[in-house]
C-alpha cells in the first residue's frame, strides 16, 4: 500500500468514527465560516466541523490531484486540548487522529 493509500484509508477511518458517534453533519457551515484565518477555524467552527469540512476534504483533494502531502503534520495535540475529557467520542477520535499524525511524521500525542 502506498503512502497516499494509507492516508486515504485513515481519512475514511476518521470519517467512520465521526459518523458512528453522530458527529458527521449533513449540512455544511456557512461559507464565511470556512474562510477563517485562525488555526483550525477556532473562531468559526467546532473541532469536529473543522475535521469534516476542512481537513478531510483538503487532504482528499491533495490525494486525488497527486500532490505532495504535508510533512511533520499533527492535529491530535489540538484535539487533546479542544475536546473535553468527558466527551463520549474523545478517546476513539484521538486514536484515529494519532494514526493520521503518524502517517505525516507528526508526534500525534
pLDDT digits (tens, 9 = 90+) for 14-38: 999 999 999 999 999 999 999 999 9
Q: pLDDT (tens digit, 9 = 90+) per residue, 44-93?
A: 999 999 999 999 999 999 999 999 998 888 999 999 999 999 999 999 99
CATH number of the domain located at residue range(s) 3-25+40-103 in this protein: 1.20.1440.40
Q: Name the pTM for this structure.
A: 0.90
Q: How far apart are CA 55 and CA 75, in angstroms?
A: 10
Kindly list the domain boundaries of the chain, sorted by start residue.
3-25+40-103
Do residues 87 and 23 lie in contact, with contact meaning Cβ atoms separated by under 8 Å? no
Amino acid at each position: 500500500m502506498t503512502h497516499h493509500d494509507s492516508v486515504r484509508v485513515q481519512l475514511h477511518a476518521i470519517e467512520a468514527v465521526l459518523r458512528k458517534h453522530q458527529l458527521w453533519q449533513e449540512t455544511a457551515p456557512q461559507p464565511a465560516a470556512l474562510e477563517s484565518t485562525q488555526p483550525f477555524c477556532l473562531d468559526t467552527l467546532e473541532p469536529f466541523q473543522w475535521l469534516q469540512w476542512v481537513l478531510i476534504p483538503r487532504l482528499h483533494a491533495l490525494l486525488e490531484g497527486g500532490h505532495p502531502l504535508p510533512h511533520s503534520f499533527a492535529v491530535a495535540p489540538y484535539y487533546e486540548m479542544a475536546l473535553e475529557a468527558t466527551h463520549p467520542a474523545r478517546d476513539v477520535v484521538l486514536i484515529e487522529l494519532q494514526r493520521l499524525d503518524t502517517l505525516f511524521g507528526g508526534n500525534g500525542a
